[in-house]
Structure 1
Amino acid sequence: MTGETVRKISFEWALEGKHPGSYDDYELLSWSEGRLTREVFDEVRDLYATGTASGLPQVTIARASTMESGRQSYYVVLAVQEWSPHHDGTNRKIAYTRWFYVPYEQLIDHRVSYEALYTALRALPETPAPPLTADVPALDLSAVSPGPDALSAAALLLTGRQVCVVGAEGVPMAERLRFLDTVAALLPYGMRARLTAATWTSSTANHKIKLFFARHAPSGAHAVPWERGADVGHEQARHYHETLRWAGDRLPEVIVRLAEQTGPLSFAPEYRTTVLELLEGAIRPLTEPSVDAPETGDATPPVPREQPAGTVAVPQDEPTRIDRDVSGHEERRGTVAAPRNEPGRADRNTGGHRHRGASWPATGDGTVTRPGVDPFTRIESRPESPVWHGHGAGGRGGLVMVVALVVLGMALSAFAVLLVAGFLRRDEGPAVPEVAAPLSSTVYIQTSPGQASRFVAEALAEVLRDAGDQPIFEWADPANPVRLRTEPTVTIAYDLDLLEFLTRGNFSVDGPDEIRNQLGAQLSGQGLALVAPLPWTTQDVLVYAPDLIKPDRLKASLEHPEQGDEILVRDTFGAGPREILHGRYPDLRLRSVPARELAQELQRKKARAAIVPGDTDLFGYEHSGLMADLLPRHSLVVLANSAVGPELMPTLTALTANLDAKRIEAGSRDPQEVAREFADRVAASLPGRDATSASEEEAEPAQDSFMLPLTILFFVIVAAAVVVVLCLIGWPAALARPGSPRNRKP
Structure 2
Amino acid sequence: MPEPATVRARWAVLSKPPADGGDYRVLACSAGPAGFREFEGFVRPMMFGTPLQWSVAGEPGENLPWISYGFSGDGRRSHRWVSIAVTDWSVGGPATWDSAGRRPVVTRYFDVRFEDLARHRAGLTTLWRAVRPVVLPPGSAAVGEDAAAAAEEPAAAPEQVALRFDTEPLPRLAGLLDEEVDFGWAAATAAAALTVPIDLVARTSRYALTRIETMDAVLALLPYGYRAQLTAATWAPEPRAAHPRLCYTSASGSSARLTVREGTAPKPPSETARAHLARLLMLRDRVGTLGCLQELASVVEPASLPFGGGSDGPRARFGRTGEG
The TM-score with structure 1 as length reference comes to 0.35
Are positions 1:142 and 2:171 aligned together? yes
Residue number in structure 2 paired with 1:58: 66
> Which amino acid is 1:170 matched to?
S
> Which amino acid is 2:217 matched to?
T
When residues 206 and 224 of structure 1 are mapped into structure 2, their CA distance, relative to the original with a 3 A threshold, is closer
Q: Check conservation: 1:198, 1:211, Cα contact below 8 A.
A: yes
| SS of equivalent to 1:105 | helix
1:80 Cα deviation (Å)? Answer: 0.8
> Which amino acid is 1:76 matched to?
V
Residue number in structure 2 paired with 1:73: 79
> Which amino acid is 2:320 matched to?
G
Residue number in structure 1 paired with 2:60: none
Aligned residue-pair number: 279
Residue number in structure 1 paired with 2:88: 82
| SS of equivalent to 1:251 | helix
Deviations 1:673-693 (A, max 9, x none): xxxxxxxxxxxxxxxxxxxxx
Q: Decide which of 163, 173, 177 is 2:198's aligned counterpart.
A: 163
| SS of equivalent to 1:262 | coil
When residues 168 and 33 of structure 1 are mapped into structure 2, their CA distance, relative to the original with a 3 A threshold, is farther
Residue number in structure 1 paired with 2:153: none
Are positions 1:217 and 2:252 aligned together? yes
Q: Decide which of 284, 290, 299 is 1:252's aligned counterpart.
A: 290
Q: Check conservation: 1:22, 1:89, Cα contact below 8 A.
A: yes
> Which amino acid is 2:316 matched to?
E
> Which amino acid is 2:169 matched to?
D
Q: Distance in 2 between matches of 1:49 and 1:28?
A: 13
Residue number in structure 2 paired with 1:121: 131
Q: Distance in 1 between matches of 2:131 and 2:200?
A: 25
Residue number in structure 2 paired with 1:239: 275
Q: Distance in 1 between matches of 2:118 and 2:305?
A: 19
Q: Check conservation: 2:185, 2:266, Cα contact below 8 A.
A: yes
1:103 Cα deviation (Å)? Answer: 0.9
Q: Decide which of 89, 92, 102 is 2:112's aligned counterpart.
A: 102
1:251 Cα deviation (Å)? Answer: 3.2
Q: Check conservation: 1:152, 1:224, Cα contact below 8 A.
A: no
Q: Check conservation: 2:270, 2:310, Cα contact below 8 A.
A: no
1:89 Cα deviation (Å)? Answer: 2.1
Which structure has the higher relative contact order (CA within 8 Å, separation 6+)?
2
Q: Distance in 2 between matches of 1:103 and 1:74?
A: 6
Q: Distance in 2 between matches of 1:26 and 1:37?
A: 16
Residue number in structure 1 paired with 2:312: 273
Deviations 1:27-82 (A, max 9, x none): 11111117x93333222223221124431112100100147xx7652000011111
Q: Distance in 2 between matches of 1:26 and 1:207?
A: 24
Tell me, which stretches of 5 or more residues in structure 2 are unaligned?
A: 52-56, 58-62, 139-156
Identity of aligned residues (%): 26
1:204 Cα deviation (Å)? Answer: 6.7
Residue number in structure 1 paired with 2:236: 201
1:275 Cα deviation (Å)? Answer: 3.1
Deviations 1:641-677 (A, max 9, x none): xxxxxxxxxxxxxxxxxxxxxxxxxxxxxxxxxxxxx
Q: Check conservation: 1:165, 1:224, Cα contact below 8 A.
A: yes
When residues 37 and 208 of structure 1 are mapped into structure 2, their CA distance, relative to the original with a 3 A threshold, is farther
Q: Check conservation: 1:199, 1:212, Cα contact below 8 A.
A: yes
Q: Distance in 2 between matches of 1:192 and 1:218?
A: 26
Q: Check conservation: 1:60, 1:197, Cα contact below 8 A.
A: yes
> Which amino acid is 2:8 matched to?
S
Q: RMSD in angstroms over aligned alpha carbons?
A: 2.6
When residues 109 and 248 of structure 1 are mapped into structure 2, their CA distance, relative to the original with a 3 A threshold, is closer
Residue number in structure 1 paired with 2:29: 31
Q: Check conservation: 1:113, 1:138, Cα contact below 8 A.
A: no
Q: Distance in 2 between matches of 1:20 and 1:227?
A: 44
Tell me, which stretches of 5 or more residues in structure 1 are unaligned?
A: 285-355, 357-746
Equivalence map 1:344-493=2 (5 Å): 356=324
| SS of equivalent to 1:8 | strand
When residues 224 and 266 of structure 1 are mapped into structure 2, their CA distance, relative to the original with a 3 A threshold, is same
Q: Distance in 2 between matches of 1:261 and 1:4?
A: 23
Q: Check conservation: 2:225, 2:314, Cα contact below 8 A.
A: no
When residues 40 and 238 of structure 1 are mapped into structure 2, their CA distance, relative to the original with a 3 A threshold, is farther
Residue number in structure 2 paired with 1:188: 223
Q: Distance in 2 between matches of 1:282 and 1:252?
A: 16
> Which amino acid is 1:189 matched to?
Y
When residues 206 and 247 of structure 1 are mapped into structure 2, their CA distance, relative to the original with a 3 A threshold, is closer
> Which amino acid is 1:199 matched to?
T
When residues 243 and 57 of structure 1 are mapped into structure 2, their CA distance, relative to the original with a 3 A threshold, is same
1:11 Cα deviation (Å)? Answer: 0.6
Residue number in structure 1 paired with 2:150: none
> Which amino acid is 1:274 matched to?
G
Q: Distance in 1 between matches of 2:88 and 2:240?
A: 18
Q: Check conservation: 1:65, 1:73, Cα contact below 8 A.
A: yes
1:174 Cα deviation (Å)? Answer: 0.6
> Which amino acid is 2:249 matched to?
A
Larger radius of gyration: 1
Q: Check conservation: 2:43, 2:85, Cα contact below 8 A.
A: no
Q: Distance in 1 between matches of 2:242 and 2:107?
A: 16
> Which amino acid is 1:234 matched to?
S
